[in-house]
């Protein structure tokens, strides 16, 4: 029987060893991680990040995946990714520039379109004018009033003339 | 199409619409690639990839572009930083998705595995290996990556990885009065 210990391969040797775990998990900021991935950190800082990456399997996996992705041509993304993301930001800058008068601040914001805003102003103006007109009696009533007024003045004139003729007639009939 | 490096970051951080649109167009390929890789072990549908990518962009513009304003071009390139942010967002998305529905039969056993604490492992004393040596050994053996991938990660050539790996193992074998390789 052999008393010699079996020769371990490098992998077997490593698997029989346990590295010490840090007392508390080290947090690596996105900025530090990115700088480390690009090899831009000074040696001491890089060593700290490497210790954190070595201790955390998820961080290690992330580092390897990102290094692989950043090192090769990227596939064309589905167009919907850009369409949905672009809709997150509206024309705020243009909206702010178009608000030149104080009353524009009271207008509803139609998603930043100046055309919609002007349409809303015209619409509101028309509504106010129409309501005022109706409250004032409208076209029909004013026409009737005008007509009545003209008729009244004509009738009054005729009535006064008829009275004068009747007086004269009475005057002459009494004298004969 | 505008490259990421050509984006006016000051204009972007103020929410300028046209700059945002150009940024999205330039960043979409990278964010798409990172999100797909991160979610790959969950076999995501196309809608999951779109939702996860949208999460990334929402993070960037949320609260008046607060996250975007933390980016420092003097420390790292915009592509690398975006890739890191996209990875974090995709991991959070995957975690939320896993919590909502995960029938136990569909989860691989390895994901549920618990480390057998009864196996006594020899402890490597602190300081025996450098941080880089430990990282290289973990990538090669725990992560089962090859030398070229580790070289790409650490921005060193493959020969340096092999050399560092060799020196680390010599130290371990010497310390544990090891078996010859």
Q: Are A60 and A98 found together in one domain?
A: no
Q: Which of residues 55-84 of B touch A (CB under 8 A)?
A: 57-58, 61, 70-72, 75-77, 79-81, 83-84
Among chain B residues, the shortest Cα distance to A87 is held by B21
The tens digit of pLDDT for each residue in A74-99 reads 999 999 999 999 999 987 544 554 44
The domain B121-175 is placed in CATH, from the list 1.10.10.10, 2.60.40.1180, 3.30.70.980, 3.40.50.300, at: 1.10.10.10
Selected residues 130-149 of chain B with any CB under 8 Å from a CB in chain A = 130-132, 134-135, 137-139, 141-143, 145, 149
| Total of domains in chain A | 2
d(CA A107, CA A4): 90
pLDDT digits (tens, 9 = 90+) for B106-158: 565 655 656 555 556 777 888 899 999 999 999 999 889 999 999 999 999 99
Same domain, A56 and A103: no
Q: What is the domain extent for residue A112? A: 93-135
**Topology of domain B4-102, per CATH?**
Rna Polymerase Sigma Factor; Chain: A (1.10.1740)
Q: pLDDT tens digits for A29-69?
A: 999 999 999 999 999 999 999 999 999 999 999 999 999 99
Task: Give the helix ranges, DSSP H, for A25-137.
Answer: 30-37, 43-55, 57-70, 79-86, 92-98, 114-135
Residue A145 within any structural domain of the chain = no
What are B48-90's pLDDT values in tens digits?
999 999 999 999 999 999 999 999 999 999 999 999 999 999 9
Whether residue A101 is found in the same domain as residue A60: no
If phi over 0 gives left and psi between -120 and 50 gives alpha, with beta otherwise, what is residue A164?
alpha
Tokens standing for residue A75: 């596939």
Nearest to A86 among B20, B134, B181 (CB): B20
Whether residue A104 sits in one domain with residue A61: no
A169 vs A91, which has greater pLDDT? Answer: A91
- For residue A136, give every residue at least 6 positions away whose Cβ sits within 8 Å of its Cβ, in sequence order, or none: A142
Q: Is residue A30 part of a domain?
A: yes
Segments of chain B assigned to CATH 1.10.10.10 = 121-175
Q: Give the global pTM.
A: 0.68
**Residues of B with Cβ-Cβ distance to A84 under 8 angstroms:** 50, 54, 57
Has residue A171 been placed in a domain? no
The span from the CA of A103 to the CA of A105, in Å, is 5
First to last CA, chain A: 179
DSSP code, position B120: -
What is the interface pTM, i.e. ipTM, of the complex? Answer: 0.84
Would you state the pLDDT for residue B153?
95
């Amino acid at each position: 029987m052999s008393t010699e210990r079996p020769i371990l391969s490098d992998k077997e040797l490593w698997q029989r060893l346990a590295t010490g775990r840090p007392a508390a998990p080290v947090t690596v900021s996105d900025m530090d991680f990115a700088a480390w991935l690009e090899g831009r950190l000074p040696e001491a800082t890089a060593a700290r990040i490497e210790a954190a990456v070595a201790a955390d399997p998820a961080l290690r996996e992330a580092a390897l995946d990102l290094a692989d992705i950043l090192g090769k041509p990227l596939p064309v993304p589905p167009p919907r990714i850009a369409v949905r993301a672009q809709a997150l930001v509206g024309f705020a800058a243009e909206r702010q520039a178009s608000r030149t008068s104080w009353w524009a601040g009271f207008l509803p914001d139609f998603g930043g379109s100046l055309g919609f805003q002007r349409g809303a102003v015209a619409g509101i103006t028309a509504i106010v004018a129409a309501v005022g007109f109706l409250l004032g009696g409208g076209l029909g009533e004013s026409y009737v009033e005008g007509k009545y007024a003209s008729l009244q003045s004509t009738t009054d004139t005729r009535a006064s003339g008829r009275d004068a003729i009747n007086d004269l007639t009475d005057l002459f009939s009494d004298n004969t | 199409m505008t490259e990421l490096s050509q984006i006016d970051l000051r204009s972007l951080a103020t929410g300028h619409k046209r700059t945002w649109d150009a940024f999205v167009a330039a960043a979409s390929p990278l964010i798409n690639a990172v999100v797909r890789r991160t979610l790959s072990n969950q076999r995501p549908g196309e809608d999951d990839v779109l939702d996860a990518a949208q999460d990334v962009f929402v993070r960037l513009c949320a609260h008046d572009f607060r996250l975007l304003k933390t980016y420092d071009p003097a420390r790292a390139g915009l592509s690398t930083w975006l890739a890191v942010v996209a990875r974090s967002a995709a991991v959070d998305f995957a975690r939320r998705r896993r919590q909502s529905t995960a029938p136990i039969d569909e989860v691989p056993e390895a994901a549920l595995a618990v480390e057998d604490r009864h196996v006594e492992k020899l402890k490597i004393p602190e300081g025996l290996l450098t941080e880089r040596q430990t990282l290289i050994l973990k990538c090669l053996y725990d992560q089962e990556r090859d030398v070229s991938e580790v070289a790409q990660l650490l921005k060193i050539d493959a020969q340096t990885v092999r050399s560092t790996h060799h020196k680390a193992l010599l130290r371990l074998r010497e310390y544990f009065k090891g078996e010859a390789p």
